[in-house]
Amino acid sequence: MKSISSETKLNIADSQIQGTERSTWKYGNGRRVAKQSSTVAADVVTFDGVEKYYAEQKALKSIHLSIKPGQFVVLLGPSGSGKSTMLRCLGGLEKIDAGEIRFGNTVVSSPRVHLPPDRRNLAMVFQDFALWPHMTVAENVGFALERSESDKRVLKEKVGALLEKVGLSHKADRYPNTLSGGEQQRVSLARALVASPGMILFDEPLSSLDAHLRERLRVEIAALTRESASSVLYITHDQSEAFALADVVGILDQGELVQFGKPETLYNEPATPFVAHFTGVASQIDATIQERLPTGHYRVMTSAGQLDARLSGSTILDSDEVTLMLRSAPIHIQSDAFGAGELKGRVVDVAYRGRGYDHVIETMDGNLLHSVFSEFRWERQSTVGIRIPVEACIAFPRQARSTEP
């Protein structure tokens, strides 16, 4: 996938449009198709069978999803999964090879139609800020309004109000190179919001910032974008960031959208072992089903002991050989193991996290359980019991076993 040059990012920032132009349309194949001179209003955004190729590589594979007006959608996946490609296609930076992207009933991208970025009523916030170095903070934020807002007093009021919201009104006359990274990203956020776009695209905006800044800006992004009522497509490889921000999360794996739903659904009912891994598991253990319990759960035997497991969503087992995905949050550390659902282990590592301790525990068969939390510190090399309730233990068919992303 091609990277976006700094010049291109600045040009995109300049063309963040206001939705104030009158839209005109032509018709083709029974549906509305945007003219090159039109501006698209905020509406439901639909990916309908979208595919994208780079030479022989299929970067997107028949993507289907809808983004409702005002919805905050996060795309989550490892590097190379297709997140940035989807964002670029939606933003008009890439042409698609199959399918359609529609804003409402309006086709903005297809193999025969391509509306440029400055006619899509959207704004972009980049990882590296993309601010004009020769403009002040206020000038950077206000640039997108200059073509539509002839009243300089009104323009100044709008810019001032946004800078007040992001906490930079006192630095309106400063230049970008005098600001910290967090302050520069706030300027970029204000510039995206000031023109009231129908959609804002975020390209991993927090990944270059320190941890304490990431959390503060995450809260600001969530609050300000929802206040603006703009739809959002936000990409990240950080599961905790995705779950904290999103109304809906899409998980991408090698160009395929493997699951799309609320964060709680993805966590509690992962569609595949890949989704389970990418949304956080303590360990992956092979097991054999011994019996089905009256509750609908399964009693399984691992090489470390007996556990009770559940299925996820529509998962169907065609064999007694399964792979268990263990969620760390429900797992409890205790002094010893006493029966079914409890394993013996040895504490390999412990890390203080402020609210308590995260432990790495090795079971008797050599499997490692990561990020097992306890309010109390269990010392390294101590022998412990691990209680693993059924809600922590998700079974998938053995042949579906994944490798960790």
* Three-state DSSP class for residue 292: strand
Helix axes 181-194 and 211-228, enclosed angle (nearest 10): 10
Residue at 405 is within a domain: no
Q: What percentage of residues in the chain have a pLDDT greater than 90?
A: 68
pTM to 2 decimal places: 0.85
Higher pLDDT residue, 338 or 370? 370
Q: Provide the pLDDT confidence category of residue 22 given band limits of 50, 70 and 90.
A: very low
- Do 86 and 233 reside in the same domain of the chain? yes
- Do 200 and 262 reside in the same domain of the chain? yes
Question: Per the structure, how many domains does the chain have?
Answer: 2
- Do 222 and 327 reside in the same domain of the chain? no
- Do 179 and 323 reside in the same domain of the chain? no
- Do 30 and 164 reside in the same domain of the chain? yes
Backbone torsions φ then ψ of 300, nearest 5 degrees: -125, 155
- Do 263 and 305 reside in the same domain of the chain? no
What is the rounded CA–CA span in Å between residue 302 and residue 341?
A: 11
- Do 320 and 227 reside in the same domain of the chain? no
Check residue 402 and give its pLDDT: 47
Which residue segment(s) compose the domain that 172 sits in? Answer: 6-268
- Do 227 and 291 reside in the same domain of the chain? no
Q: What percentage of residues in the chain have a pLDDT greater than 70?
A: 87
Q: What is the pLDDT of residues 41-83, one digit of tens each?
A: 468 999 999 999 998 899 999 999 999 999 999 999 999 999 9
Q: Does the pLDDT value for residue 134 go beyond 70?
A: yes
- Do 66 and 162 reside in the same domain of the chain? yes
Q: Provide the pLDDT confidence category of residue 249 given band limits of 50, 70 and 90.
A: very high
26 burial via Cβ count (<10 Å: 0-12, 13-18, 19+): exposed
Backbone torsions φ then ψ of 339, nearest 5 degrees: 175, -160
